[in-house]
Structure 1
């Protein structure tokens, strides 16, 4: 089973990339977000891989982070959610946004993904609400921050969330972005740094 590939981007299509690993080209299926985040052809890249076995084929599905791969593994356990729908969700929402949507049971946010109707979105929220936090450290941190409430956050984080909300972002979006910023910059980051990193996350 292949769990990780590190090589050179050879070529890509609408939903796949070929990664050259020491002369062997691995075709890896990816979400739209992962394809956008990959470097151009000829540059080095690392993908965390889920190996999917079928009767007639073996498919490799690639992600930019282990957290995103963990969300994929959870998504495909939901009734009615296959690989295509899971990749559509992760191609529409970042790991931070998806964690926030699960934490807030925000069905509308998940339903933004192509091919995901209200019933499927509701099922995803219901089935993952108790399982997701225990699954990945990154998901736990991102999901916990929006629920804590501004008064429970460290002052720089609380101020950063308030600033992003004042700029027009939803509370859930702002909280998830600041959570990602804290992970990137550390617990001692000041408000200005968290706002800057939060805006960068929201622009992804």
Structure 2
């Protein structure tokens, strides 16, 4: 499975971007929030991805941070919510807003997204209740993933140890802030593990 892409942003449109990775252009669908955050054409980008395999297509979805990808996975687990509808929701609601809407049973907030009617919004709120965590945790995880190869490797290490993306992002972000830019991977992972265990 393709878990992330690092390359040059070749182009963006209303609903997707093309990332050039060693001469191969990957078309990725993304929320407007992610497309706005990835920077100018020609710049280097790192996007987390989710590959959906269907009988007639392979579709790659991209996310600016682990919390958005995790929210996408939960949304697409709900019957009637495909990848494009999930992105429409994430274009209107960031992971914190989505967690808040679900926690409060606010179907009207979810129904603000294009293609989401009242019945589908109610199903999303009902089925995701208790699964998205607290809005405060979603807020911590909703911040962009730490930049730099060392921070990304530390995120991967924590994920491999079984930490949820939200927990891993919060711990690595805190550790990276405390240690500064010159931190080694070993030091970053050790401190992040201590912070995650608190």
Structure 1 residue 37: deviation in Å?
A: 1.5
Deviation string for 1:51-72 (max 9, x for gaps)? 0111222111001011111111
Cα distance in structure 2, aligned partners of 1:126 and 1:75 = 12
Instruction: Tell me whether 1:45 sits opposite 2:45 in the alignment.
Output: yes
Q: Is the 8 A contact 1:102 1:143 kept in 2?
A: no
Structure 1 residue 140: deviation in Å?
A: 6.6
Structure 1, unaligned stretches of length 5 or more?
Answer: 145-181, 187-204
1:54 alignment counterpart: 54
Equivalenced residue count is 145
Q: 137, 141, 148: which is aligned to 1:141?
A: 137
Structure 2, unaligned stretches of length 5 or more?
Answer: 141-169, 175-198
Q: Is the 8 A contact 2:103 2:130 kept in 1?
A: no
Deviation string for 1:140-178 (max 9, x for gaps)? 71379xxxxxxxxxxxxxxxxxxxxxxxxxxxxxxxxxx
Q: Is the 8 A contact 1:92 1:113 kept in 2?
A: yes
Q: Is the 8 A contact 2:97 2:135 kept in 1?
A: no
- Aligned pairs for 1:88-103 within 5 A: 88-103=88-103
Structure 1 residue 88: deviation in Å?
A: 0.6
Q: What CA RMSD, in Å, does the superposition of the two structures yield over aligned residues?
A: 2.4
